Structure 1
Amino acid sequence: MKSAVGFAKNTSWSLIFADFKEITKARLSVSVVFSSIAGYFLGASQIDLVSVALLAFGGYCMVGASNAYNQVIEKDLDVLMNRTKNRPIPSGRMSVNMAMAIAVALTLLGILALYILSPKTAMFGAISIFLYTSVYTPLKTKTPLSVFVGAFPGAIPFMLGWVAATNNFGIEAGTLFMIQFFWQFPHFWALGWMLDEDYKRGGFKMLPTGKKDTGTALQIILYTIWMIVISIMPAFGFTGRLHLSIPAAIIVLLSGLVMLIFAFRLYEKRDNVSARRLMLASVTYITLIQIIYVLDKFGHTLF
């Protein structure tokens, strides 16, 4: 009997944990934390593990809070889409009040953790939540420009790590911001292309032309080119303390060109398979270049 009760409790806790991961979009939140830590490593003259822990915890809380607020706001629309109808709120597994409590708690904990690092870090974290929930989320059903607005909070994590390490926002942090800013357009438009029919069920306007056409594909190519240009700029001495060796820049350039090839294939074929391949290539690209940047700083012998 006791073992049955224990099993039930364990199952209950596992379900609660699963819903917490879903309401905070754990995979997305972890990828954002990864970006922030990469930015911290690039900015830090000396690695402090306590600061890294605070950045990781605060970063997860801020992204998790944004996602929880988003799911509260879009609960009635999530019911309409196949990819979101089983989320905790529309499925009935979590109440709106509980989701709001989680969002508020994560906001307070995240701002506190980032404030301990520096007030500027906390400020940028708070700006990110505000833009994501109060500007980007409402615009998603009104205009494709929502992706442009959403690119601002989405670009903060990489540069947030630099600000956390240096307590300074300059050309270095701005460059990291711009890399992730331009990256988001091919990434999210590829995702929007794949899920266009589902997004339309919820009334979301995600593609720049509103259609899966050559106009959208062309814009994806153009933003990918800008992303590549910004990504290799640190190799030319224009970005302050943010440096990139020529061999590392070549690897970044080649990685970007691979992603550009996938963008051209989407322009040529205009199908969901090509969009999915571009989306996966974009995820690989942003992760790879962040690793290359960090390795280039700490392990010059590798390049």
Structure 2
Amino acid sequence: MGSTRVHTSTASILTDFKEITKMRLAISVVFSSVAGYFLGADNIDFVVVFLLAVGGYLMVGASNAYNQIIERRLDALMDRTKNRPLPAGRMSVTTAFIIAVVFTVLGIIVLYIINPKTAMFGAISIFLYVSVYTPLKTKTPLSVFVGAFPGAIPFMLGWVAASGHFGIEPGTLFMIQFFWQFPHFWALGWWLYDDYKKGGFFMLPTGKRDRGTAIQIVLYTLWTIMASLIPVFGVTGKLYITPFSGMIILFLGLGMLYYAFRLFREKTAAAARKLMFASVSYLTLLQIVYVLDKFIREWI
């Protein structure tokens, strides 16, 4: 019996640790960063890839821990978040704060080992997410605009880690993920509108599940697709994709646009949920296509 209790307790601690750092979200951020690194690197250094993955996870984990400390009372009001470690009382604020601080310090150190600019952008990301985006979520729908800045950094961060500088190439990667944030988070905000309302969060641009919000979702989806296709035209320095890959990206984008139009027509939580998952698929597949395009061109 004793060993069972220890096992359950250990499993519970690991689960809470994964929740306080939002492991799934952190892994998706690491994926974006590594994709950006592969695009920007002349020669792949797997030590740098490892450091970027670890540093990226630490920075995202820190941001999420701070976020959950600040929002713990609001999280307790929402079905989606009431079972998180802090509102459920399974973890103390002190423990969460220690995790956040340790992750912040270690994350900046690990990214600094890669190069100072990577550490700087990582630190900016934490600052904007915790100090600006999080407090604004209960004040104004503009919080999504502010949150799009730290949210767009990971893809770009990988290129900066590979090259040591910020220019047109990482700027383009930033722009793609920046525009993508809006249909993604507005779809999430529409889907979970009633739950967000319990916590007092303003996520939709008009504040409501209405035609105005749906139109903006369609527009930002279009801008995301257009930004994604800019590298086809050879105007973004070393960042380039072939017309064939551009056609694949366009096809993926039209798939996401289809779900955006469905939300515009139906204005239902179910349609918003489908768009949210379509947006995640779009960004992931786009990053894979970009990376494959580069390496196939190099092999040929």
Residues 36, 55 of structure 1: 8 Å contact kept: yes
Computed over aligned residues only, the root mean square deviation of the Cα atoms, in angstroms, reads 1.1
2 CA distance for matches of 1:55 and 1:70? 22
For 1:237, the equivalent position in structure 2 comes to 234
1:300 CA drift (Å)? 3.4
Write the letter of the residue equivalent to 1:117.
I
Unaligned regions of 5+ residues in structure 1, if any?
none
Instruction: Tell me if 1:10 matches 2:27.
Output: no
Q: 1:256 to 1:141 in 2, by over 3 A?
A: same
The residue type paired with residue 93 of structure 1 is R
Instruction: Verify: 1:210 aligned to 2:197, yes or no.
Output: no
Counterpart of 2:149 in structure 1 is: 152
1:138 equivalenced with 2:135 (yes/no): yes
1:281 aligns with 2:278: yes
**Which amino acid is 2:225 matched to?**
I
The change in CA–CA distance for 1:235 and 1:124 in structure 2 (over 3 A counts) is same
User: Match of 2:60?
Assistant: 63
Provide the rounded CA distance (Å) in 2 between the counterparts of 1:271 and 1:236: 37
Which of 20, 37, 40 does residue 23 from structure 1 map onto? 20
Cα deviation digits, residues 46-87 of structure 1 (max 9, x gap): 111110000000000000000000000001101111101000
Q: Deviations over 1:76-121 (max 9, x none)?
A: 1011111010000000000000000000010011101000000000
The match for 2:189 among 188, 192, 200 is 192
- How far apart are the structure 2 equivalents of 1:28 and 1:93? 21
* SS in structure 2 at match of 1:238: coil
Q: Is the 8 A contact 1:213 1:270 kept in 2?
A: yes
Q: Give the TM-score taking structure 1 as reference length.
A: 0.97
What residue is the counterpart of 1:172 in the other structure?
A: 169
Structure 1 match to 2:266: 269
Deviates more, 1:7-16 or 1:148-157: 7-16
Q: Which amino acid aligns with 1:162?
A: W
| Distance apart, 1:8 and its partner CA | 2.3
Q: CA deviation at 1:13?
A: 1.3
Letter in 2 for 1:132: Y
Distance 1:26 1:215 in 2: 34
1:182 partner letter: F
**Residue aligned with 1:36, SS:** helix
| Aligned equivalent of 1:83 | 80
- Is residue 81–residue 198 contact of structure 1 (8 Å, CA) maintained in 2? yes
State the match for 1:129 in structure 2. Answer: 126
After TM superposition, give the deviation of residue 6 of structure 1 in Å: 2.8
Residue 270 to residue 54, structure 1, CA distance change in 2 (3 Å): same
CA-to-partner distance for each residue in 1:239-298, whole Å, 9 max, x for gaps?
000010000000001100110011011000100111011001000000000000000000
Say if 1:144 and 1:210, in contact at 8 Å, map to a contact too: yes
Q: Cα 1:273–1:210, aligned 2, differ >3 Å: closer, same or farther?
A: same
Relative to the length of structure 2, the TM-score reads: 0.98
In the alignment, the residues of structure 2 paired with residue 274 and residue 79 of structure 1 have an alpha-carbon distance, to the nearest angstrom, of 27
- Which residue identity is paired with 1:214? R
Q: Is the 8 A contact 1:111 1:122 kept in 2?
A: yes
Deviations 1:10-54 (A, max 9, x none): 221111110000001110000000000000000000111110000
User: What's the CA shift string for 1:180-214, capped at 9, x where partnerless?
Assistant: 00001000000000111111111100000000001
CA distance in 2, matches of 1:21, 1:132: 19
Gaps spanning 5+ residues in structure 2: where? Answer: none
